[in-house]
């Protein structure tokens, strides 16, 4: 089901304080990387939105603002919705302006189950900018690509729940995670993946703080590696693990574009 932007009133679908996931769809983006942000609606008009972005996601605005296009994904009336939008400007307080382009797509929402397992990982928490984390992520993924290993990082056996979209684990109450973390996760085949994640929720429990994280900057090949690893583990125990690409929040594609490519 598609709606054309010249006839649809987007304010019917995007309400104040509604949660939005943004996926980078800019023409000049690095297409090997899944890059996402989150925020919520602060102003909703017929063909434009203002969104408060978590974590100062866009950094300094000044260069190439007119060339940034994002997929805005949310929920409305019990369905998933997504639309392409151009970033048109910045307001105060980390609020950014978007104008919708193309069509509004509605789709069946699919939650991705997390798979529980013990794996080696290392979590980097720092109260610093997303721009800093992105530079560090780039440095480490390049090291992994060249060397296949990371000297100086000791990965610890940790019980987690994991999927291609994020990770959950228990942390010490005194070590509450920062808004953004960097994870190094070793999969069974000796491959280490590196991902930036935002803290989505925290829940106090007897043994500490259970936390959920959403991956916001990760190589698409690493999304695939995680999914393949979990699918293999699921098959070994007689089950299956769904393909993450059925969840539209986790891909930089529109439904119409994916259909054409089949």
Q: Which residue has the tokens 């997504």?
A: 82
Q: CA nearest 185: which of 175, 197, 173, 194?
A: 194
Structure token digits, residue 53: 């972005």
What per-residue confidence (pLDDT) applies to 133?
94
What per-residue confidence (pLDDT) applies to 19?
96
Residue 155 belongs to a domain with what CATH number?
2.40.10.220
Burial of 163 (0-12, 13-18, 19+ CB in 10 A): buried
Structure token digits, residue 116: 């529980």
Query: 72, 107, 142 — which closes off a domain?
Result: 107
Asked whether the beta carbons of 243 and 230 are under 8 A apart, the reply is no
Query: Does one domain contain both 149 and 57?
Result: no
What per-residue confidence (pLDDT) applies to 29?
92
pLDDT tens-place values along the chain, 262 residues long: 334 445 789 999 999 999 999 999 999 899 999 999 999 999 999 999 999 988 765 554 444 455 789 999 999 988 999 999 999 988 777 899 999 998 999 998 888 889 999 999 999 999 988 889 999 999 999 999 988 777 778 899 999 999 999 999 999 988 889 999 999 999 976 789 999 999 999 999 999 999 999 999 999 999 999 999 999 999 999 988 899 998 999 999 998 876 554 4
Distance CA 11, CA 15 (A): 6
What per-residue confidence (pLDDT) applies to 65?
54
Contacts of residue 106, Cβ cutoff 8 Å, sequence gap at least 6:
1, 76, 79, 80, 81
What per-residue confidence (pLDDT) applies to 123?
96
Does 71 fall in a domain?
Answer: yes
Distance CA 43, CA 14 (A): 9
Number of domains the chain is built from: 2
What per-residue confidence (pLDDT) applies to 174?
87
| Exposure of 151 in the CB half-sphere (CA atoms within 13 A) | 2
What per-residue confidence (pLDDT) applies to 189?
66
Q: Which structural domain range is residue 35 located in? A: 2-107
Q: CA nearest 123: which of 197, 37, 26, 16?
A: 197
What per-residue confidence (pLDDT) applies to 260?
52
Query: 57, 80, 107 — which closes off a domain?
Result: 107
Query: Does one domain contain both 125 and 227?
Result: yes
Distance CA 113, CA 240 (A): 11
Query: 74, 107, 140 — which closes off a domain?
Result: 107
Question: 260 phi and psi, to 5 degrees?
Answer: -65, -30
Query: Does one domain contain both 85 and 163?
Result: no
């Amino acid at each position: 089901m598609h709606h054309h932007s010249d006839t649809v009133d987007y304010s019917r679908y995007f309400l104040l304080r509604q949660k939005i996931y943004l996926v980078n769809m800019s023409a000049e983006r690095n297409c090997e990387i899944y890059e996402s942000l989150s925020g919520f609606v602060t102003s909703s008009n017929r063909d434009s939105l203002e969104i408060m972005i978590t974590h100062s996601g866009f950094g300094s605005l000044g260069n190439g603002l007119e060339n940034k296009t994002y997929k805005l994904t949310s929920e409305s009336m019990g369905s998933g919705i997504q639309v392409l939008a151009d970033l048109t400007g910045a307001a105060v307080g980390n609020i950014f302006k978007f104008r919708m382009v193309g069509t509004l797509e509605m789709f069946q929402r699919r939650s991705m189950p997390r798979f529980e397992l013990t794996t080696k990982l290392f979590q980097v928490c720092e109260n610093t900018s997303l721009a800093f984390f992105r530079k560090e992520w780039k440095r480490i993924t390049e090291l992994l690509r060249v060397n296949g290993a990371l000297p100086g990082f000791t990965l610890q056996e940790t019980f987690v729940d994991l999927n291609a979209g994020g990770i959950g684990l228990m942390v010490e109450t005194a070590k509450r995670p920062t808004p953004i973390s960097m994870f190094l996760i070793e999969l069974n085949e000796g491959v280490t993946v590196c991902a930036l994640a935002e803290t989505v929720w925290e829940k106090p429990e007897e043994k500490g703080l259970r936390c959920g994280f959403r991956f916001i900057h990760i190589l698409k090949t690493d999304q695939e590696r995680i999914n393949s690893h979990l699918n293999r583990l699921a098959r070994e125990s007689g089950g299956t693990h769904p393909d993450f690409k059925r969840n539209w929040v986790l891909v930089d594609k529109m439904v119409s574009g994916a259909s054409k490519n089949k």
